[in-house]
Amino acid sequence: MTNVAQAARPAAVSPHRPRGGRSGRARSAMSYGFISLYTALTVAFGILPALYALYLAFTDGNGDFAGFANFTKVVGDFRFLPAVGHVAYFLVVWLIALVVLVTILAIAVHAIRVRWLGSTLRLIFYLPGALAGASSVLLWLFLLDPTASPVGGLLRLLGQSSFVEVIVPAHLPPIFAIIAFWTGAGGWIVIMYGALNNISAEVIEAARIDGAGPIQIAWRIQLPMLRKWISYMGIMSLAAGTQLFVEPQLLSQASNAVVPNDYSLNQLAYQYAFQQNDFNGAAAISMLLLVIALALSALFVLRGGLFETD
């Protein structure tokens, strides 16, 4: 009887024996397949162009080593520092508005208990992001003209009676920040909403039982748990913001150069490459942008604890 019982008992699975070996290998192969195309595109359109730009930045037009001559030339250009100031001003306005308003709106939408209303608001927030950058700017060209804009009365109330008065250079950083927020904030609101859904409902309920109100829950529970996502949003938005080009370029063309065609660093690099035929100087500007973006991104990573494990 003992032998029969032992025979009927299922064989013990060795703790060292791999389970689902074949399916595990299939999943592994599928994972490599998913990342292979991304890796190839990153190498072809990211790493290799960056290495070529690095080569151009340290050589002259004949391909000879030039040291830091190209960097000295572009930094000494009278247009360089104003372009740096324009981009920096835009980034400060945009990033502060993006981080504060996106976080507040995401928490507010998450607090809505009516499902259809929350879904509708998320769709409304996301729709502007479906427009391409150039299309969005063209729409804003119409909105910024007091003679044709549906908000022309508000613009005239602010003392702006013509398109040229609206887009004077002093007004441009806030205008570009508004355009960038309008096109990009909706996607981040949806991402933040998803991150809020990962917060345990038991934690929120325990806080309510302890007497915490919505503001206290947002400040003491939701915001700390969103810190990594906010840091990630800051890094990605910073990378996009340093590439400011489409908005000032289209406004420059639409305003007959009231907005200068070297307003941003990317525009200045474009001028070097395609107006002055100086690709080495343009590459030097791109390398400076890359270094600045990497340094600021590292700051976001360190301060935001992006790679810390919970």
pTM value is 0.80
Structural tokens at position 36: 């292979």
Question: What is the maximal distance between C-alpha atoms in the chain?
Answer: 101
Confidence band for 24, pLDDT divided at 50, 70 and 90:
low
To the nearest 10 degrees (0 to 180), the angle between helices 48-57 and 69-76 is 80
Q: Indicate whether 39 belongs to any domain.
A: no
Q: Indicate whether 6 belongs to any domain.
A: no
pLDDT exceeds 50 at position 50 = yes
| Count of structural domains within the chain | 1
Collapse the DSSP code of 2 into the 3-class scheme (helix H, G, I; strand E, B; otherwise coil) and give the result: helix
Instruction: Provide the percentage of residues in the chain whose pLDDT is more than 90.
Output: 27
**Residues found in the chain:** 310
Instruction: Give the domain extent around 226.
Output: 81-260
Q: Indicate whether 265 belongs to any domain.
A: no
Confidence band for 310, pLDDT divided at 50, 70 and 90:
low
Q: Indicate whether 10 belongs to any domain.
A: no
In tens, the pLDDT along 54-82 reads: 999 999 988 899 999 999 999 999 999 99
Q: Indicate whether 43 belongs to any domain.
A: no
Nearest C-alpha neighbor of 192 from the set 131, 108, 133? 108
Q: Indicate whether 307 belongs to any domain.
A: no
In tens, the pLDDT along 237-285 reads: 888 888 899 889 888 888 887 888 899 999 999 999 999 999 999 999 9
CA 284 – CA 265 distance, rounded (Å): 11
In tens, the pLDDT along 175-225 reads: 888 888 888 888 888 889 888 888 888 888 888 888 888 888 888 889 988
Q: Tokens 């508005």 appear where? A: 97
The dihedral over CA atoms of 27, 306, 300, 235, expressed in degrees to the nearest 10, equals 30
In tens, the pLDDT along 150-172 reads: 888 888 888 888 888 888 888 88
List beta partners, residue 59. 65
Confidence band for 133, pLDDT divided at 50, 70 and 90:
low
* CATH number of residue 176's parent domain: 1.10.3720.10
* Residue 273 near residue 74, CB atoms below 8 Å: no
Nearest C-alpha neighbor of 65 from the set 54, 50, 74? 54
Q: What is the pLDDT of residue 109?
A: 87
Residue 307: which residues within 8 A CB-CB, separation 6 or more?
301
Q: Indicate whether 167 belongs to any domain.
A: yes
